[in-house]
Structure formats: structure tokens, C-alpha cells
Amino acid sequence: MSTVLLQQNDPKVLPMYWVFTVNFYVLVIIISLGLIGLPVYLFATDKPGWAVLSIIGVGLAFFILRWTMRRLHPYFWENLHRNQYTLTQEGMRYSYSDVKRRETLKGEVLFKDIPECRVVYYVAKYHYSYVKGHNRRKSPHEVFPALHLKIGSVFIPVFLKDHRHLDHWLDVLRAHNIPMTLQKGTISEASMDELDEETKKTDGLPFTYEEKFAEKHLPELQQTWRTIDAEQREEGKAI
């Protein structure tokens, strides 16, 4: 491919949150192992009564230990496999990591081989742990634009972490006459299958790109998508 126009590497967890989270999980693991070994210690110190009572905590300890390991592994994997996108004059290179599958999808595609692009907003959960200065008390999550580029029979997601990059991408896509639609509602960074299914089942609105689209309409669109996302969350709670 030709000259690189834009390189996007998704940020890793900030060191402060990384250290805090890992230490928390390690502490939970140590406590769980302590609860599992407690009956043995009590029997060894000739306290059979307390040992029998402490056996109750062994089941709980195994449950907590299993829960911790199931969360810790994806947390490590996701932080080590961040999405990467390289935009060129003719196409893009991508490396998309599916956290649920623990798989990374890599490839290159020319713009002439992309028949459709859907512009959608997604919910970036716990955004404060990736970007300095984000007010976690105001909102633990953030709403960002994403592009779903149709490649073959699936949609490859491009999760933008900076609103200013949206116009850059749309400028290039428009220059290559790629049809665009605007999605209603919001999605989350989920597995490839879920994203693909969500994109296909949601209707897109015809979308004619104009220069500086994000600059002109971003505040209005952000508010609209935030409102829709809040409504979807309320509907989910009501079910």
C-alpha cells in the first residue's frame, strides 16, 4: 500500500489503574487461597471444631477464585492485544482483537473492495482508565464514533478514540466513493459476532458526508446518541 495517512493504536490501561487492578486481583487470589488452606491449618493446630466451620468458606473461596481468574485472563489479554489501524491513500491495514474469542483478526483491504461504511457511535466503557484527565465521576464511560467497514461478508469495526479523526477518515472514504449510512443507537466494544449481528439488524440512515462533519455536528450528535444510549439502558433495566 501507499503512504501512511493515519496510524491509530488503541491505548493501553494507564499504569496507575493497571497496578491498582492487578494488585486487587492478586490480593483476592491470596485471600481465596488462604481460605482454602485454613481448614488444614486448623486441623494441624488441633482445632477440629473451627476447622469444620472453616470448611464452609472453602466453597466460597473456590467460587471467588474461579470468578477472579475468569476476569483476570481477559483483562491481561485485552491490554496486550489492542486494536491497530493504519490508513493509507489506497486502503487500510487492520488488527482487530476479539476479546471474547481471544482472537486477533489481521488483514489489508483496498478501498475499492469496501462496498459500504456505516457510521455508528459506541460506548467506550471505563474510558477514564485509558486516557488521562477524563472525569470518571462525571461519567465512567464515553461515547465515540466508530466506522463499520464491510469487507466480504462481515463488518470490520474501526473504533475511533479521538473525535477529530472522524473527519479524516470520512474525507478519505468519500474520495473513494464508498457509500455511507448513519446508524441509530449505540453499540459496545463486543465480540466480532455480536458487532456484526448488531450492525446487520439495525437500519442505517442515508448519509451524505460534508466537509468538517464532526466539527459541525459532533456536539449535537453526541447528545443525541447519549440520550439514545440512556434510553436503551433504562429499557434494559425494565426488562
d(CA 7, CA 109): 15
Asked if pLDDT for residue 1 goes beyond 60, the answer is no
DSSP assignment of the chain: ---EEEEEEPPPPPHHHHHHHHHHHHHHHHHHHHHHHHHHHHHHTT-HHHHHHHHHHHHHHHHHHHHHHHHHHHHHHHHHS--EEEEESSEEEEEEEETTTTEEEEEEEEGGG---EEEEEEEETTGGGTSTT--TTT-SSEEEEEEEEEETTEEEEEE-SSTHHHHHHHHHHHHTT--EEEEEEEEES--HHHHHHHHHHSPEEE----TTHHHHHHHHHHHHHHHHHHHHHHHHHH-
Q: In the β-sheet with 204-206, what is the strand arrangement from edge to edge?
A: 154-159, 142-151, 117-124, 180-188, 204-206
Q: What is the pLDDT of residues 195-214, one digit of tens each?
A: 666 666 666 666 666 667 76
- Termini Cα distance of the chain: 49
Query: Whole-model pTM?
Result: 0.71
Output the pLDDT for position 228.
Answer: 58
Q: In the β-sheet with 91-98, what is the strand arrangement from edge to edge?
A: 4-9, 84-88, 91-98, 103-110
Output the pLDDT for position 24.
Answer: 93
In degrees, to the nearest 5, what angle opens at C-alpha 221 toward C-alphas 218 and 224?
150
Instruction: Read off the pLDDT of each residue in 184-199 and give the average, rounded to a whole number.
Output: 62
**pLDDT-derived band at 27, boundaries 50, 70, 90:** very high
Encoded amino acid at 190, one letter: A
**pLDDT-derived band at 239, boundaries 50, 70, 90:** very low
Which residue would you say has higher pLDDT here, 13 or 196? 13
What is the Rg, in whole angstroms, of the alpha carbon atoms belonging to the chain? 23
**pLDDT-derived band at 13, boundaries 50, 70, 90:** confident
Asked if pLDDT for residue 229 goes beyond 60, the answer is no
88 Cβ neighbours under 8 A, 6+ residues apart: 1, 2, 3, 4, 5
Instruction: Read off the pLDDT of each residue in 158-164 and give the average, rounded to a whole number.
Output: 80
